[in-house]
Every structure is written in structure tokens, then in C-alpha cells.
């Protein structure tokens, strides 16, 4: 099974006229408490029907905010793993991308580190690997006012040096188990088909949910996203009729497990399962999802 990880980046520039940019205001705020630091690496495998949407390779002015605003309207959380290269320099393009990342954070989306330039980390020297991870981390923190604790290495490849740097900095490595092939497929229907087939295959193996990887760099992904969400909701209508567990679009809290639960060294290719909820949590979450599904499916 393929393993994949996440990254985010950003920078800041002084605006004309002395009016603070959103990212400047964010950077001047008191830093918030760390979230998702020092977590065990995960690719999202879970026996629960939890789905986490993640988006790699942004920000992109033509697509990223379209994705974010759709998700906000639908009340769906997500993680955006960004590359700092898109936010570096004094021209209007990187300046706009910085504003986009600041807006994503202000909307409540999690921003993750996907490396500075999206370079494959394996061939790099140690100092080059550190530059990819650390400078991207600093850019994101500068733009959003928060340290990005989630790290997805480009191409899902995490060599030993990168794993050591990530662990030393307290980063939580995030992969995925539900690909969509949107970096190859350009048809929204084909992207949905790939997702469905992979989810159905995992279900047969007892892995009922996980982390979905998409790429907001592509316009066809913007078109495919509502199809994917609608398919999941229609599938919930079938599950509701059979009184089965429903799918939930969740945030990363469901998958974050502190490293303290696994003493000893962590191999770079290790992936740990998601949290198991208490009975009370599971009942409350499913109750909420069932009410949402009843409205969507037109049931009284």
C-alpha cells in the first residue's frame, strides 16, 4: 500500500500604505498552543468510517479558495499541505498566495508542511533536506501565526534523514490511504471512480475509512470535489436505510495519536492506526451524522 505525507509554506511582505496584510496581523498575534505536535505517523487506516480530506501542492490562486469556500459552505474540515515556493518573492503572484494561506488559516483549515519546493527528499543532502522542511515551516508560521505541526513529504517518500528531522522538530508525519489519481486523471468522473474503487477495496479488507489525498493545483479537482462529497452522502443514505455506521468527514483530531503511546524509536515507514473513540464519543458523533443524513436523504 502506498504511503503519503503533507507539507505547507508561506511568506510575508509589507503592503503599500502601511495597512497590515492578513498574514501580518496573524503573525503579530500571540501564538496559539501547539496542535498535533509529536504525533505518531499515520496514513489514516481505521476501522471507522472516517474520511479526512487533504489537499497537496498549493496554494494556487485559481483553485485553492474555490475548494476552501466550497468546503466551508458544506461544513467539511480539511488539511492543506502547501509548498513555500509558491509564496516566495516580491511579485504579485507569491503575495497573493500568501494572502490565500492566511485566509485558509482564518477560515479554520489546518495548514500542513509539504516541503519548500516539493523536491524528492531521498537524493538530498542532510542540510538540503533540513532547508526543505524548516524553511517551509517558518514561512507558514510567518504567514499564519501558527507553527504547522503536520508534515507530508513530497511524493510520500520519507528517507531516514527527513524522518529524523521531522521527529526532532516535533512534526507529525501524515500520509494517506485513499488516493484519487487526480495528478493523472483529468476527468472529474474518473477521479470519483478511482476514489470509489479504492474505498470499496479497503472496505473489503476491513479498512473502512482514512485520509484522502487530492491536489488543489488542478482545476479538475475543483470540479471533482462536489461529486466525491455527494457520492459519500448518497452512500450514507444506503447505510442509513440498513442502520449501519455512516461515513463522517472529520478533522485530523480523529487521527492524531501522541508519540508517548508508542515508546521507543519509530521506523520511518511505520504508520499507526487512528484513535479508537469511547462508546460515548462514537454514539454522539454518529447521532449527529445520522441527523444530517436524514435531512439530506429526505427521511423524517
Instruction: State the average pLDDT over residues 47-55.
Output: 98
By 3-state DSSP, what share of the chain in percent is helix, strand and coil, each rounded to 5? 45, 10, 40
Residues 6+ apart with CB under 8 A from 151: 5, 6, 7, 112, 113, 114, 133, 166, 171, 172, 173, 174
pLDDT attached to residue 269: 67
Q: Residue 17 pLDDT > 50, yes or no?
A: no
Instruction: State the average pLDDT over residues 146-168.
Output: 96
Residue 74 lies in a domain: yes
Handedness of CA 232, 234, 236, 242 (dihedral sign): negative
Residues 209, 282: Cα–Cα separation, whole Å: 15
Instruction: State the average pLDDT over residues 82-99.
Output: 97
Q: Say which residue, 211 or 263, is predicted with more confidence.
A: 211
Instruction: State the average pLDDT over residues 163-186.
Output: 97
Q: Which domain holds residue 252?
A: 16-297
Q: How confident is the model at residue 271 (pLDDT cuts 50, 70, 90)?
A: confident
Residue 4 lies in a domain: no
At 124, which helix (H) or strand (E)?
A: none
What is the number of other CB atoms lying within 10 angstroms of the CB of residue 260? 8
Handedness of CA 127, 183, 107, 230 (dihedral sign): negative
Residue 3 lies in a domain: no
From residue 2, give the alpha-carbon distance in Å to each of 75, 101, 104, 168, 213.
29, 28, 28, 25, 12
Q: Residue 34 pLDDT > 80, yes or no?
A: no
Closest CA to 104 of 65, 130, 148: 65
The per-residue b/e assignment along 233-256, b for 16 or more CB within 10 angstroms, e otherwise, is bebbeebbeeeebbbbbbbbebbb
What is the number of other CB atoms lying within 10 angstroms of the CB of residue 186? 14
Residue 189 lies in a domain: yes
Residues 251, 36: Cα–Cα separation, whole Å: 11
pLDDT attached to residue 16: 38
CB 74 within 8 A of CB 233: no
Q: How confident is the model at residue 28 (pLDDT cuts 50, 70, 90)?
A: very low
pLDDT in tens, 181-225: 999 999 999 999 999 999 999 999 999 999 999 999 999 999 999
Q: How confident is the model at residue 11 (pLDDT cuts 50, 70, 90)?
A: very low
Q: Residue 35 pLDDT > 90, yes or no?
A: no
Residue carrying the nine cell digits 496581523 = 25
Q: Mean pLDDT for the chain?
A: 89
Per the structure block, which three cell numbers stand in for 245?
A: 455506521
Residue 1 lies in a domain: no
The per-residue b/e assignment along 21-45, b for 16 or more CB within 10 angstroms, e otherwise, is bbbbebbeeeeeeebbbebbbbbbb
Where does residue 275 rank: exposed (0-12), middle (13-18), buried (19+ CB within 10 A)? middle
For residue 259, what is the domain's CATH number? 3.20.20.370
Closest CA to 208 of 252, 264, 247: 247
Number of domains in the chain: 1
User: For 88-191, where are the E strands, in sequence order?
Assistant: 110-113, 150-151, 172-173
Q: Say which residue, 283 or 7, is predicted with more confidence.
A: 283
Kindly report the pTM of this predicted structure: 0.87
Residue 8 lies in a domain: no
Residue 10 lies in a domain: no
Amino acid at each position: 500500500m502506498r504511503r503519503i505525507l503533507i507539507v505547507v509554506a508561506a511568506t510575508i511582505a509589507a503592503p503599500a500604505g502601511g495597512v497590515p496584510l492578513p498574514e501580518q496581523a496573524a503573525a503579530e498575534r500571540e501564538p496559539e498552543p501547539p496542535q498535533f505536535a509529536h504525533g505518531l505517523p499515520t496514513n489514516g487506516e481505521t476501522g471507522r468510517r472516517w474520511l479526512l480530506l487533504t489537499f497537496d501542492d498549493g496554494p494556487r490562486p485559481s483553485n485553492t479558495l474555490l475548494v476552501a469556500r466550497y468546503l466551508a459552505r458544506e461544513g467539511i474540515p480539511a488539511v492543506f499541505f502547501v509548498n513555500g515556493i509558491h509564496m516566495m518573492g516580491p511579485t504579485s503572484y507569491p503575495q497573493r498566495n500568501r494572502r490565500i494561506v492566511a485566509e485558509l488559516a482564518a477560515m479554520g483549515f489546518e495548514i500542513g508542511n509539504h516541503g519548500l519546493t516539493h523536491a524528492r527528499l531521498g537524493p538530498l543532502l542532510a542540510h538540503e533536506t533540513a532547508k526543505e522542511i524548516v524553511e517551509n515551516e517558518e514561512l507558514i508560521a510567518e504567514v499564519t501565526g501558527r507553527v504547522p505541526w503536520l508534515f507530508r513529504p513530497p511524493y510520500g517518500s520519507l528517507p531516514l534523514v527527513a524522518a529524523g528531522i521531522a521527529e526532532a522538530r516535533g512534526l507529525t508525519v501524515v500520509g494517506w490511504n485513499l488516493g484519487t489519481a487526480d495528478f493523472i486523471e483529468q476527468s472529474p468522473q474518473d477521479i470519483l471512480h478511482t476514489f470509489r474503487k479504492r474505498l470499496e477495496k479497503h472496505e473489503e479488507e476491513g479498512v473502512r475509512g482514512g485520509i484522502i489525498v487530492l491536489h488543489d493545483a488542478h482545476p479538475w479537482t475543483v470540479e471533482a470535489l462536489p461529486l466525491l462529497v455527494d457520492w459519500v452522502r448518497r452512500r450514507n443514505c444506503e447505510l442509513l436505510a440498513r442502520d449501519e455506521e455512516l461515513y463522517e468527514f472529520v478533522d485530523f483530531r480523529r487521527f492524531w495519536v501522541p508519540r508517548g503511546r508508542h515508546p521507543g524509536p519509530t521506523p520511518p515507514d511505520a504508520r499507526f492506526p487512528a484513535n479508537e473513540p469511547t462508546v460515548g464519543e462514537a454514539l454522539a458523533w454518529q447521532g449527529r451524522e445520522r441527523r444530517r443524513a436524514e435531512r439530506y436523504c429526505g427521511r423524517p
